[in-house]
Amino acid sequence: MSIILNGIGVSHGIAIGNAYIYVRASTEATEYNVPASYHPKEIERLHQAIKEASTQLNEIKSRIAADTPEDILGFIDSHLLMLEDPAFDEGAAAIIREFSCNAEWALQVQCDRLVQVFDEMDDPYLRTRKDDVIHVVQRIQHCLAEKPESKAEPVKLKGRIVISDDLTPADTLMMQHQKVAAFVTEFGGPLSHTAILARNLGIPAIVGVHNARQLIHPTEQLIIDGHYGVVIGEPDPRSLTHYRKLRQKDTVRKQRLNRLINKPAVTKDGVHILIQGNIDRPEDIRNLKQHDNTGVGLYRTEMMFLKDNQTLDEEAQFKTYKRALFRLKGKPLTIRTLDLGADKEIQESLGQGPMAHNPAMGLRAIRRCLKEPENFLPQICAIMRVAAYGDVKMMIPMMTSIHELDQVSALLENAKQLLRQRKVRFNDKIEIGAMIEVPAAALSADIFAQRMDFLSIGTNDLIQYTLAIDRIDDEVNYLYNPLHPAVLQLVKITIDAGKKAKVPVSMCGEMASDPKYTRLLLGMGLNYFSVQANAILEIKHIINNSNMGKLHTKVRKIMNCHDLNKIESLVDTLNT
C-alpha cells in the first residue's frame, strides 16, 4: 500500500528510484572524570582528533570531481576553516581544565554553547549555520572514538533516493559524485547546506520529513516531488505513470528555459526589463553566469566578514570587490554596504554588550555603520576605489530618514578627501542608492528619490516590519504574506516615487525571485529585478510572455482591493 509523507521541497524536480537509508554511527558523548594530572594528555587527544577530522575532509575534497565548481567546494572549505577556529580547540580544552572531564564531553558542552549563540540569531541563513557546528563536532567525536565514519561509498548509490536524518556538505557532495537521484532528510530547512547544495547541483530534495527513516523501508520504490515536498512510498502504477509524465514535462521545460540563457527579457509589448543576480561572494558569479550573462544587483558584503569572523581592512575588501567586478567582465556590480548587527555578529564584537532583545529592530545595517565610522570608512573607500575600474554602484541598507542620508553623504565626502590625499585612483561620481526596507523609508521614497541615484526594495524586511511579525518564528510566520494590501501599497509608493523622479527602482528581496509575483510586479511598474541565480530563467520566461500594458489595468484592480483572500485569487488569475 502506498504511503504519502510531506516535507519542505527545497530543490525542485521529480525523482523515481529505490530508497537507501543512510545511517551514521552514533556520536553521543558520555561524561567521566579526568584527573588534573591527565589534562594535558586529554587535551592532546582532542588536538589529534581535530587534526584527523581535517585530514578526512581534505581527503574527501580530493576525491570530488575536478570540474566541481569552486563555490560548491566552498562548503567543505567552510568546515575546514571551522576546524581551525579556537572555539573548538581552545574552548573545549578550557572546559577539560575547568571541569576535569573527558574530551568528548567537553566538546559536546562547547557545541551546545555555540549552537545556543546561533539559535539566538535573527537572520534565518545564519541561524541554520548551527548545523555546520553540529556536523563538525560529530566528525571530531567520531575521531575521538576512533570509529570510521559511515560512508556511502561501498554501496552503489546511482539512481537511489537517499533517506537520512541530516546530511553534511561532505556527505552530499560524495553522494552527488555517485549520481544519487534525490535526497530526503528528517531535519533541515530551505537554507540548510543540504538544501543549498541540492539546488546548486540540480538534485531534487525534500527536508523536514519527520521519522522518514522509520516509515520508509530500505530499497522500497519512492517518488520524490521536490516542488511540493511530497514523498510517495510504494507508488501504484497510476501514480508512477503520472509522475513519469511530469518528470518528462519538467525535463522539456528546463530545456526550453535554457534557450533563454543570455537572451533579453522583453515583454510582448516591447518593454525591456533588466534582470540581475544576488550574490554573497565573488565565487557566486560562476553560478550566476550559468543562468545568464548579467550583472549583480545585490552583493551582500557582510557575508565576507562573517565568513572570516572578523573585520577586514580596506585593502582586503578592495581586492575582493575587484575580483567580483573582473569576473563580471564588464557587467554592472551593485555593492551593498555592511548589514551587520546584533543578529549577525563577528567574533571580535561578541561579548561587547548585552544581546539585543529584538535584534531585527536593533543596531544593524546603516545604523551600525554610522555608529562605527572607523569600520564604515574603509568599506566606502574600497568601493569607490573599485568603481574606478568598471560599472560599480554603492547601496546603503535599511535607510529610515534623511538625517541618516546626510550623515552618509558627509562620510562619503570624508572618504573622497582621504583618497585624494593618498593620491589613490577612485571614482568620485559613483552612483549611490538606498534600500527601502522599512515602512518609514517607503513613505519617504519621494524624498529619497530626489537625493539618490537609484532605489532598491528589500521585501524580506519590508514585509516583516510592515506586518510586525518575525518571518522565522514558527508561531507567527504564517502571517508573513507579500500580498498584504499594506505591503503592496508601500511597494507601489516606492516604484511611483522613482518614476516621478526618473530614478531607477529595483527589487532585490525574495518577492522578486518568486515567479508567483512577477506579473504583479510588472503591472505595478517594476522594470528592474535582482533575483537568485536559479530563478532568472523562470522570471525571464514569464516576462517574455507578458503584456505590460494589459497588466497595468489588471493590477490596478488588485491595488484597489483590501480583502487578502480576494487579492490572492486575483493574483492567481493574473498568472493563469
Cβ 173 vs Cβ 64: under 8 Å: yes
Position 351 pLDDT exceeds 50: no
Measured CA distances, 15 to 251, 338, 464 (Å): 11, 40, 35
Q: For the chain, where do the domains classified as CATH 3.50.30.10 start and end?
A: 3-21+151-257
Q: How far apart are CA 32 and CA 20, in angstroms?
A: 36
Question: Which residues, other chains included, contact 7 with Cβ-Cβ below 8 Å and sequence gap of 6+?
Answer: 184, 206, 207, 208, 209, 210, 212, 229, 231
State whether residue 162 is helix, strand or coil: strand
Position 126 pLDDT exceeds 50: yes
Buried b (16+ CB within 10 A) or exposed e, 73-109: eebbeebeebbebebbbebbbebbeeebbbbbbbbbb
**C-alpha 326 chain-centroid distance:** 23
> What is the maximum span of the chain, computed from C-alpha positions, in angstroms?
81
Domain 3-21+151-257 in CATH 3.50.30.10? The answer is: yes
Task: Give 201-235 pLDDT, tens digit per residue.
Answer: 788 999 999 999 999 998 899 999 998 999 999 99
Residue 261 burial (CB count, 10 A): 14
Position 146 pLDDT exceeds 80: no
First to last CA, the chain: 36
Position 458 pLDDT exceeds 90: yes
What average pLDDT does the segment 11-18 reach?
92
Higher pLDDT, residue 391 or 132: 391
Q: For the chain, where do the domains classified as CATH 1.10.274.10 start and end?
A: 36-144
Q: How confident is the model at residue 360 (pLDDT cuts 50, 70, 90)?
A: low
Catalytic residues: 193, 508
Position 71 pLDDT exceeds 70: no
Task: Give 411-449 pLDDT, tens digit per residue.
Answer: 999 999 999 999 999 999 999 999 999 999 999 999 999
Position 349 pLDDT exceeds 50: no
- pLDDT-above-90 percentage for the chain: 57
Q: How far apart are CA 554 and CA 36, in angstroms?
A: 76
* pLDDT value of position 381: 97
Higher pLDDT, residue 105 or 355: 105
Under CATH, which number does the domain 36-144 receive?
Answer: 1.10.274.10
Q: For the chain, where do the domains classified as CATH 3.20.20.60 start and end?
A: 259-575
Dihedral pair phi/psi, residue 225, rounded to 5°: -110, 95
Give the mean pLDDT of the chain.
87
* pLDDT value of position 240: 95
Segment among 65-74, 94-103, 223-232, 347-356 with least mean pLDDT: 347-356
Where is 3: in which H helix or E strand? Answer: strand 3-6
CA dihedral sign of residues 339, 344, 345, 346:
negative
259-575 to CATH, choices 3.30.450.40, 3.20.20.60, 3.40.50.12280, 3.40.50.970? 3.20.20.60
